[in-house]
Structures are given as C-alpha cells and as structure tokens.
Chains A and B, each alone.
Chain A
Amino acid sequence: MYTTDLSGKGKGKAEAAVAEDPALVAAFEARVANDEFIEPKDWMPEAYRKTLVRQMSQHAHSEIVGMLPEGNWITRAPNLRRKAILLAKVQDEAGHGLYLYSAAETLGTSRDEMTEALLSGKAKYSTIFNYPTLTWADIGAIGWLVDGAAIMNQVPLQRTSYGPYARAMVRICKEESFHQRQGYEIMMHLAAGTEAQKRMAQDALNRWWWPSLMMFGPPDDKSPNTEQSMRWRIKRDTNDELRQKFVDITVPQAEAIGLTVPDAALKWNEERGAYDFGDVDWEEFYAVVKGEGPVAKERMQARVKAWEDGAWVRDAARVHAEKRAAAKLAAE
C-alpha cells in the first residue's frame, strides 16, 4: 500500500536509544489509546514522529509518482470525455501529494528534504507505480484496482491519530471514489466491446491484479512494525485483513463485467465467508521495493528531470518576490 512500511529492517535502533521522559510517553500512549488526536505542537515520542514522517512522505511520493503511469495516456485518451476525466484524476493525485506533504511538514521536515529523499532514492514509494501502462485498458485497471486498493487502506486512516494526517485523508477519500468509478467504467465499456477490446481489458486485469494485491504490503507475519503502528493508530488494519477485504469486494466486480481474475486458486470459502486465493509472489515484491520494477528507472528519471527543469522557475519566482518586497520596503 502507499503507506506500507517499505523501510529496511533495524532502522528503529537509533530511535529507541533516545531516552524519553516515561511520564510523557505514558501520557501520550494513553491519549492515543483513547482515540484522541495528536496535533503538531503536542509532545510525541521521536519514534512516532519519525515513523509518521516516513509513512506520510512515502504516501505523498506515491501520489506524485503515481501521476506518471496515467499521465502517459493523457494525450492518447480515446475521446475528449475520457481525456478531461483523466486530466482531472491526475490533477487530483497531484493535490493528494500536496495535502500529504504539507501535513508531513507540520512534523518539522521540510518539503525540500522530502523531495531530496525521493530523488536520491532514499525514500520509497508504492511498488505499483513501477509497472508500465501498456494499453488504454491499463488506465481502467489502475483506477479500478489501484485506486480501489488505495481507498481500502485510506478510509480507516481518516481516524489515524495524527490530526493533520487524518484531515488530509478525509479530503483524499472524498476524491478517490470518482477515481475508482471512472476506472471501472473504462473496464466495463471495454469488456462489453469488440473481442479485441475485451481481450485488452482482460490482459490489463491479468497484469495489474497481483501487483495490486502487493500494494497491501508483506504478509502480517513478515511485517514486524505493524503492532506498534496499530497501537499508535497510524495503521488501523493489518495488511492481510485489508488484502482479504479487497479480494472479497473486487472479485464480484470482475465477474459482473465478464472478466476473470487471474488466480487458479481463487475459490469462495463458504465457512469463512470469504475468498481463498493464491500466494502472492513476494520475491517479485521485494525486488520491486529494491528498485527492480520494470520501469523504476524511468519513473525516477522523470521526477529528477521535472525537478531539474523546474529549477529556473523556482529561482526566478523567488528572486522576483524578493526584489518586489525590497522595492516595496524602499517605497514606504
């Protein structure tokens, strides 16, 4: 998921070494356990602050990098209606990135520090965006599956313990639902189209299904930080719980439009009242986390280029503003 902990293991050591006033820690834990919101100026443990900065900036980076696969199809959208919709959707994702960066900045990390972490490869973003968008149907599959998975994760985060993060999530969730529906609508139309269009829709589902399941992160027994994050209310359901929920909701949606989920092991389990499904290829997941995704290099190149090409604009605007401020001061 956008917020899955993708950091390496053992990073908590330095954080744990900081001695903190046990009374403050206890008061903080009690507030969080009581579902109170923590606000920027409140005292918080260093590890909570660091985990949040990592999670929120990673989430923001995912929104920003997430514009690239879809941006790839804006000029080739099949008609004006689709083009206007896709533009609005991609613009929303930019907005989501900005809400989250500004929420993360309230924790004392600057926007430039976060940008630098992304561009230098230090910070992670969701693995899903390192897969290519080969056909128009991929735009449908992304809206339906990727935004669908994002919604599943983000809805509970509207009640996350850090106030600015929770408020950003409320805004984001309001906007996500259109993303998922427009994607499903694309798939629906293709699936009801010519044989070639139907094949295209099925092919997109085949390629995006497993990467979408990976978005929820490693299995629970391989996510050591889940327990602490749940206690701190910065994660509210486990990876496996969310993944199961996603499968249960999505399979009938595929069936309704005559598409087949590419999983031979998929079977309704009457007893559990849920689908049994096959194993995710975690080797592939960890390889993509490490930067070996099919288009990982292109994604980073695009972000670095945007940042570097924009440098003169940032500089010119800043110098212009400084000059005008100085002239105004002199005139007073």
Chain B
Amino acid sequence: MSDASKEWPLWEVFVRGKGGLSHRHVGSVHAADAKMAIEHARDTYTRRMEGVSLWVLPSAQITSSDPGDAAALFEPAEDKVYRHPTFYKIPDGITHI
C-alpha cells in the first residue's frame, strides 16, 4: 500500500469559470490517465456550476520559480515606477490621456 509507484499520478486542475475568463488553478486530483483526470476534476471541482471548461496537467510537468529567487526575479520591478501611468504628471485641464 505504501508503494508510491502504485499510486495514480497527480494532476493539477484548472477551471474556466465562464466564457471570457482564463482557466484558474483550483487544486489537484489523482488519476490513472488524462481522461480519468478530467472526470475526477469534474466530480471534485465543478459540482456547483463552477466552470465551463477544464484543463488537467500532470503535476510533475510543472516547473515553478524558486521562492529563494523571488527577490532577484520580482524586486527589480519595484524601482521601475515609470512603467505605471500615475508616474507622469499631466497638467489639469488636459483630458483624454
């Protein structure tokens, strides 16, 4: 029973809430293959009309950034305030900009 290789693989589940929205991660399921993963995702995550479309993806296929690199990756954006429209002072009376 504790033989890990006998466990059905883990799949990450993404649900599109409604047309026009992107798929959003909601959790994971175990399933032998992709078709079963969709069935399990449907039963587990969309019992109350939470979605109109599902994606499943083997969890092992996900590459994520290292939390240890978070500063190097994301902090440089902090001193680039000129990327935001509020950085620019536009005189009163100038409209549509």
Binding site for B on A (CB under 8 A): 39, 41-43, 88, 91-92, 95, 98-99, 102-103, 105, 110-113, 115-116, 119, 167-168, 171, 175, 307, 314-315, 317-318, 320-321, 324-325
Residues of chain A within 8 A (CB-CB) of B67 are 39, 41-43
Q: Which residues of A contact B43 (CB under 8 A)?
A: 91, 95
**A112 and B1 in contact (CB under 8 A), knowing A99-B27, A105-B28, A317-B36?**
yes
The answer to whether A318 and B8 touch (CB under 8 A), given A102-B27, A102-B28, is yes
Q: Is the Cβ of B47 less than 8 Å from the Cβ of A112?
A: no
A166–B28 Cα distance when bound, in Å, is 15
Given the interface pairs A92-B47, A116-B1, A317-B36, the reply to whether A41 lies near B8 with Cβ below 8 Å is no
Tell which of B7, B27, B66 touches A103, judged by Cβ atoms closer than 8 Å.
Answer: B27
Question: Bound state CA distance, A115 and B1, in angstroms?
Answer: 9
Nearest B residue to A103, CB-CB:
B27
CB pair A95–B29 under 8 Å, yes or no, is no
Structural contact, A321 and B4, CB atoms closer than 8 A: no
Closest approach, in angstroms, between the C-beta of B67 and any C-beta of chain A? 5
B10 within 8 A of A: yes
Q: A39-B67, A41-B67, A115-B1 are in contact. Are A98 and B10 (CB under 8 A)?
A: no
Complex Cα spacing A160 to B28, Å: 20
Q: B95 within 8 Å of A by Cβ?
A: no
Chain B residues 52 to 97 lying within 8 A of chain A, measured CB to CB, are: 64, 66-67
Interface range for B: 20 to 34
- Complex contact A314–B44 (CB within 8 A): no
Distance between Cα atoms of A175 and B44 in the complex (Å): 12
A-B contact pairs, 20 of them (CB 8 A): A41-B64, A42-B67, A88-B47, A91-B43, A92-B47, A95-B47, A99-B27, A99-B44, A102-B28, A110-B4, A110-B7, A112-B6, A167-B27, A171-B27, A314-B8, A315-B6, A317-B32, A321-B32, A321-B33, A324-B33
Partner of A320, one of B32, B44, B47, B48: B32
Nearest 8 pairs between A and B by C-beta? A317-B32, A321-B33, A321-B32, A102-B28, A112-B7, A41-B67, A42-B67, A116-B1
Q: How far is the CB of B56 from chain A (nearest CB, A)?
A: 13
Contacts A41-B66, A115-B1, A116-B1 given; does A168 touch B27 at CB 8 Å: yes
Instruction: Name B1-60 residues within 8 Å CB distance of A.
Output: 1-4, 6-8, 10, 26-30, 32-33, 36, 43-44, 47-48
Smallest CB gap from B3: residue in A: A112
* Given contact pairs A91-B43, A167-B27, a sample of 15 additional A-B residue pairs in the complex whose CB atoms are under 8 Å apart: A39-B67, A41-B64, A42-B67, A43-B67, A88-B47, A98-B27, A102-B10, A112-B4, A112-B6, A115-B1, A116-B2, A317-B8, A317-B33, A321-B36, A325-B33
Contact A98 B44 (CB under 8 A): yes
Minimum CB–CB distance from A182 to chain B (whole Å) comes to 15
Alpha-carbon separation in the docked complex, A311 to B91 (Å):
73
Closest to A308 in B: B1
- A318 contacts B28, CB within 8 Å? no
For A307, the chain B residues whose CB sits under 8 A away are 1
A96 to B6, CA, bound (A): 24
Contacts of B1 in A (CB 8 A): 112, 115-116, 119, 307
Give min CB distance, A141 to chain B, whole Å: 24
How long is the Cα–Cα vector from A105 to B12 in the complex, in angstroms?
12
Residue of A nearest to B27 (CB): A102
Q: Report the nearest B residue to A96, measured CB to CB.
A: B44
Chain B residues near A95 (CB-CB < 8 A): 43-44, 47
Bound Cα distance A315, B43 (Å): 21
